[in-house]
Amino acid sequence: MILDLQAFLSKPIVQLVISFAVACVVALEAIPVIINISRLKNLMDEPGERSAHASKTPTLGGVAIFASTLIGYFLWENPGEGPLMHLTVVGLVLLFFLGVKDDILVLAPVKKMLVQVGCSGLLILGADLRLDNFFGIFGLHEIPYLISVPLTVFVFIALINAMNLIDGIDGLAGGIGLLTSTAFGAWFYLNKQYALASMCAALAGSLLGFLRFNFSRTSKIFMGDTGSLIVGFLLTVFAIKFIHLNVTYRYEANAYFSAPILAIVVLIVPIFDTLRVFLVRLMNKKDPFTADKNHMHHILIAQGYSHIQASMLLCGATAVLTMFFLVIRHWLTNTQALMLLMVLFVGYMVLAHTMKERVKNSDFFKLEHEEEAQKVLKQKAKARLRKIKKLKRALAD
């Protein structure tokens, strides 16, 4: 009986299911405790002009995601871990402390960027995790080492911060993370990369547990910077390793020569949204790093969609496009597929602009800009008072 149980538990698919379930349960049990501590210590996010919520909300959901993911992963002695998984855990721990400190005290962007570069450098130099092939896009194949290293660092920084930028409404970052980790986990399992599949399963389970509270009306919590950093970092590791393994396995049945295209499509929401927002800011001669409410999820909320509707719409679009590109990959070269993605991006830009213009005539937009105008008037009044005080002091002297 015991031997039968051990044999049953040694099956990779059983271990993945248990890792997923345990991570989910740990998150479900841990988050209420974190919510209570956050309320007692007033570790809450105050509603601001860019906030999509109206009341104080705990922001340490990332603590539960971090703990439950690692607990789910370390349940088993995963074969073939190697330096990649060890250094991934090191990077997670570093980003966890960075995120917690940022959620509580708020850190300068430069400090956060340096830690992100350091964590990506650990994996690139210590585990040779690099984007080393263009898969024939525009006739390019192998990428020289001195180009692949900075390119991979850029991809890490871009995707980690893209996940942070889409974490503006309930369920979006968590939903995209759940969908993406499930997709990559399935491929890793089919290709016997059980350590990576186990991490994917644990992350997916922790995000499912988190989403139960992220959508709650009475016990709401946000993943905060802690969560978005961890999720963004892990998804980037999965995406780059997925592309890298498809170079190694390119002559096997489960290999996808369209791996880089599929990785972009699975992460299309954070990639497209971040790229569009940056381009719009540059076209309007604004600092591309200046926060605003021009993200697609903000536009959808302004259109009257609820948080869950907007999140499900964007996650659904990701799932549909992923299936579409899986089907058509046999008939398109990677260059043609990338050009199709560019066409889709232009369509995305036009759609967002059209929806934004429609919002400008809505009561929501008018109210928002009335409030902004009032803030500007208050700032001008304060500036005048300061000038008057300075003038009085000068006359007194």
The predicted model scores a pTM of 0.88
Answer positive or negative: Cα dihedral of 212, 213, 214, 215: positive
pLDDT of residue 68: 97
The residues with which 57 forms a beta bridge, in sequence order, are 45
What is the chain's alpha carbon radius of gyration, rounded to the nearest angstrom?
23
| Phi, psi of 137, rounded to the nearest 5 degrees | -65, 120
Q: Domains of the chain: which residue ranges?
A: 14-46+54-360
Checking phi first, is residue 237 left (phi over 0); if not, alpha (psi -120 to 50) or beta?
A: alpha
Q: What is the mean pLDDT of each run of 10 residues along the chain (397 residues)?
A: 72 92 97 93 72 75 97 89 93 96 88 95 95 89 93 96 91 96 95 94 98 91 94 98 82 74 96 93 82 86 90 96 92 93 96 84 52 53 62 57
Exposed, middle or buried by CB within 10 Å (0-12, 13-18, 19+), for 217? exposed
Which are the contacts of 383, defined by CB distance < 8 A and separation ≥ 6? Answer: none
Token pair of 147 as six digits = 């180009």
Angle subtended at Cα 25 by Cα 269 and Cα 315, rounded to the nearest 5 degrees = 15
139 vs 144: CA distance, rounded Å: 15
96 vs 102: CA distance, rounded Å: 10
Cβ contact 119:94 at 8 Å:
yes
99 vs 367: CA distance, rounded Å: 34
Cβ contact 298:276 at 8 Å:
no
Cβ contact 101:243 at 8 Å:
no
The residues with which 45 forms a beta bridge, in sequence order, are 57
Exposed, middle or buried by CB within 10 Å (0-12, 13-18, 19+), for 117? middle
**DSSP single-letter state for residue 143:** P
pLDDT of residue 8: 73
pLDDT of residue 108: 86
C-alpha distances out from residue 378 to 133, 217, 383, Å: 55, 33, 9
SS3 content of the chain, % helix, strand, coil (to 5): 75, 0, 25
| Phi, psi of 133, rounded to the nearest 5 degrees | -155, 135
Q: At which residue do the structure tokens 């802690």 appear?
A: 226
Token pair of 117 as six digits = 């570069």
Which are the contacts of 364, defined by CB distance < 8 A and separation ≥ 6? Answer: 302
Long-range contacts formed by 247-251: CB under 8 A, 24+ apart: 247/132, 247/133, 247/135, 249/191
Of 186, 178, 207, nearest to 315 by C-alpha is 178
Of 1, 7, 13, 24, nearest to 212 by C-alpha is 24
Q: Which residues of 356-390 are buried (b: 16+ CB within 10 A; e: fewer)?
A: beebeeeeeeeeeeeeeeeeeeeeeeeeeeeeeee
C-alpha distances out from residue 2 to 9, 16, 297, Å: 10, 20, 51
Token pair of 296 as six digits = 């697609």
Q: At what angle do helices 82-105 and 194-214 cross, to 10 degrees?
A: 20
